[in-house]
Structure 1
Amino acid sequence: MASDCSPTGCSSESSARASDCALASTCSAATTCLPSACATSSCQTPSFLSGSRLPTGCLPPSCFAGSCNIPCVLGNCAWCEDGAFNSNEKETMQFLNDRLASYLEKVRGLEELNAELECRIREQSEEDVPLVCPDYQCYFDTIEDLQQKILCTKAENCRLAVQLDNCKLAADDFRSKYKRYESELSLRQLVETDISGLHGILGELTVCRSDLEAHVESLKDDLLCLKKSHEEEVNVLRGQLGDRLSVELNTAPTTDLNRVLDEMRCQYETVLANNRRDVEEWFAVQTEELNQQQLSSAEQLQGCQTEILELKRTANALEIELQAQQSLTESLECTVAETEAQYSSELAQIQCLIDNVENQLAEIRCDLERQNQEYQVLLDTKARLECEINTYRGLLDSEDSRLPCNPCSATSTSNNTCEPCSAYIICTVENSCP
């Protein structure tokens, strides 16, 4: 604070304080320091005007209590004596210096707050750099690998589906072949039934042949018996007649019974031989046909049995392969479902993390906007305070130039004209600068 009574010293000190303005800590909103002297309804005469001995009523009516923040002068206040000039001037300069110091402190506080906010913004920006741009390349690589695996699994499933379709077609082919085998088997059973029936007919024909042969033998025996009995009777008759009768009859020659019997025998034997030959030929033909059919049926049966065994083995192998493919498909589907669930949960977590980071970024942006607004407000306040400081500096310089170097006497003061006081100028400038 200035200790001398000259206003020039106060002006130089206030200019030095204004030049030493620097960054400071957080400050509150600008408030006006009013001395207790301005709270009263009466005003004291400014110390730098007490020596000029201005007459009553020379001050304008605007310098009243409440119209300015410095001690004001009422229109009917009495002037102090010459000895009180230095003390009042010191008080006024002390008040102005205090007011200027408070403004400078506010400016320093605002600048420190501004610097602190800038530091906080810079630190927040540096801290948020890894959150704003996180490295998701590993997740993208994992997702791409999983997509490739899913595509490979889908291709494998398609290949297995094609194999299953081929197996179904092969099974249908085997089923049709099995049906054809069943039809051939039924045909074979019918042929075997016919063969068994022909065997029965053959047995009947054999029995009939044996009966006929037995009948032929019995007829031969009867013929021999008849021949013997006829010869015996002829011999007996020849022995009885002897040579006693020699009767010659002019008749037709008698038939030779032996010749007739021989002819009949030959005819029967011929018919029997023909019948026997025909039956043997028919039996041989039928037997050969049945043997050929039996051989072909046996070959077909053996081929069908072999084919059935092969089809059964193929069907069993296909069934085993189908079960293996079904189990593999189920395991792959379970794996795909588990993988999708796992990575969907991881993607959900990553999405939540991204949402949180975006929310934090939005909050940081809001904080930055709010701090920018506060910074603009503080800059405006700083500008107004600097304007007011410059105004005070100019007023102090002008007052230093206006004040006389030596105080005037009482007689010369009464003859001077009334000039407007500097307190009025200070009050007017302070009211004009918010």
Structure 2
Amino acid sequence: MSHRMDYHSGSPHRGAQAEYCCYQPKLTGSPSASRTVGFESTIAYTNRGYATTLKSEFGSVPRSSESLFDLSNPFTEVLTKRNEKELLHGLNDRFARFIEKVRHLEHENELFEREIEEIKLKAQSPASLAQEHEPELMDLRNLVHDITLQKRQIEIEHQNLEEDFLTLRDKYEQEARDRSNAENGILVLKKDANDAYLAKLQLDKKAQSLVDEIHFLKKNHEDEVSEMVAQFQEAQVTVKAYKFGKPDITEALRDIRVQLEGHATSDFQQAEEGFRVQFAKLTKAAESNREALKATQQEIQENRRHLQGKTIELDCGKGMREALEKQLYELEKRHYAEMIHYQDTIRQLENELTNAKLDMSGYLRENQDLLNVKMALDVEILSYR
């Protein structure tokens, strides 16, 4: 009886009544007529089941259902009681199943209401949703800001490295030009040194020829002097021989001797004067050649010192060039490594930013799905009500 009261009572179990009505045949007309038709059809269905039982108990069964339910029929009362009992038993079983199903649906409804309340608490409005995810959004914004700052810092460092690279390249080009100029100067100095060496050889040859000429002139002068002295001595001997042999011609010989002495003296003086003049010329030429040779030697030494200085400068330039090339190589290598590192960092940060955007879009989709579930549950709750 409690089940029947619950079934006919109001609000919580009204859904079971609607479900029970869906099992009855759909007929037009009043509700009482539909209930009567359902009851009669149930009785007719039950009669077919119990026909054999009645026949075995009472011996014969009427062929038509009208004669079966006729009150004047002796089997009508017994059949009616049994049908009512079976009908009530079946209805009670169905009603118990309906009640169990209603309780199950109420339990599910409570779970749904609980979930809806949780969803309402979590997603009451877009403002609350934004407020809930505000820390994550703030972290993502801070991450994007940090990534932007790091990217700008990397760009600034990259620009500074490019400027340093351009400066070093300009220095390298300037050093290369200085080296080329130094090499050209060295070539000019080598050419000047070769010219000076050739001039020295020519001057040495000229000085040697002058020395040979001086020796030849000295020897020639000595030969001439010795020849003149021999002639003079021979003349003196001849005069003396004639003096002792013929005294009458003494005066004549004296005159001849005086003349010869005068000629010899004049010739000797002329020869000596010529020799002195020529010797002075040769000495002057030798001095000038010696001075030219000395100047040439000094110039050669100066050129050698200048060449040594340029060679030292060239070696210093080569060492500086090698150091700059090594520094440039190290700088390019470090710049390339830093550029690769910064590119990897930028790529990693971009991937993290993309993943963060994907996570954010996933959160938004989940929230949208939860909102859709909430709306569907609200619609279902309204349909139950």
Q: TM-score range by the shorter chain?
A: 0.5 to 0.7
Partner of 1:31: 19
CA contact (8 A) 2:116 2:374 kept: no
The reply on whether 1:276 has 2:263 as its aligned counterpart is no
**What is the distance in 1 between the residues matched to 2:250 and 2:281?**
53
The reply on whether 1:118 has 2:101 as its aligned counterpart is no
Structure 1 consecutive aligned stretches of length 4 or more whose deviation exceeds 6 Å: 27-30, 100-107, 244-247
State the AA in 1 paired with 2:19.
T
- Aligned CA distance change for structure 1 residues 300 and 61 (closer, same or farther; 3 Å): closer
Partner of 1:148, secondary structure, is helix
**What is the distance in 2 between the residues matched to 1:167 and 1:297?**
34
Return the TM-score normalized by structure 1. Answer: 0.60
Cα deviation, residue 196, structure 1:
1.9
**What is the distance in 2 between the residues matched to 1:14 and 1:30?**
11
CA contact (8 A) 2:210 2:286 kept: no
Cα deviation, residue 348, structure 1:
1.6
Aligned mate of 1:301, from 304, 320, 323: 304
**What is the distance in 2 between the residues matched to 1:29 and 1:269?**
172
- Aligned CA distance change for structure 1 residues 311 and 163 (closer, same or farther; 3 Å): same
CA contact (8 A) 1:34 1:69 kept: no
Aligned mate of 2:202, from 197, 222, 228: 197
Equivalent residues, number: 328
CA contact (8 A) 2:243 2:250 kept: no
**1:185-264 alignment to 2 at 5 Å?**
185-243=190-248, 256-264=259-267
CA contact (8 A) 1:64 1:73 kept: no
State the AA in 2 paired with 1:348.
N
- Aligned CA distance change for structure 1 residues 62 and 149 (closer, same or farther; 3 Å): closer
State the AA in 1 paired with 2:29.
S
Aligned mate of 1:62, from 29, 32, 37: 29
State the AA in 1 paired with 2:207.
L
Partner of 1:243, secondary structure, is helix
Partner of 1:184: 189
Partner of 2:248, secondary structure, is coil
CA contact (8 A) 1:30 1:106 kept: no
Cα deviation, residue 202, structure 1:
1.0
Partner of 2:178: 173
**1:122-161 alignment to 2 at 5 Å?**
122=120, 125=123, 129=133, 133=137, 135-136=139-140, 137-138=142-143, 140-141=145-146, 144-145=149-150, 147-161=152-166
Cα deviation, residue 160, structure 1:
3.4
Identity of aligned residues (%): 11
**What is the distance in 2 between the residues matched to 1:351 and 1:183?**
67
- Aligned CA distance change for structure 1 residues 245 and 231 (closer, same or farther; 3 Å): closer
- Aligned CA distance change for structure 1 residues 333 and 355 (closer, same or farther; 3 Å): same
Partner of 1:62, secondary structure, is coil
Identify which range, 121-130 or 321-330, moves more after superposition: 121-130
CA contact (8 A) 2:193 2:300 kept: yes
Cα deviation, residue 169, structure 1:
0.6
The reply on whether 1:352 has 2:355 as its aligned counterpart is yes
**What is the distance in 2 between the residues matched to 1:237 and 1:354?**
150
Cα deviation, residue 323, structure 1:
0.4
Return the TM-score normalized by structure 2. Answer: 0.67
- Aligned CA distance change for structure 1 residues 345 and 119 (closer, same or farther; 3 Å): same
Mind listing any 5+ residue stretches in structure 2 that lack a counterpart? 42-68, 71-83, 124-128
**What is the distance in 2 between the residues matched to 1:319 and 1:378?**
86
Mind listing any 5+ residue stretches in structure 1 that lack a counterpart? 5-9, 42-59, 79-87, 248-252, 384-434
- Aligned CA distance change for structure 1 residues 356 and 241 (closer, same or farther; 3 Å): same
State the AA in 1 paired with 2:266.
E
The reply on whether 1:328 has 2:331 as its aligned counterpart is yes
CA contact (8 A) 1:202 1:283 kept: yes
Cα deviation, residue 330, structure 1:
0.4
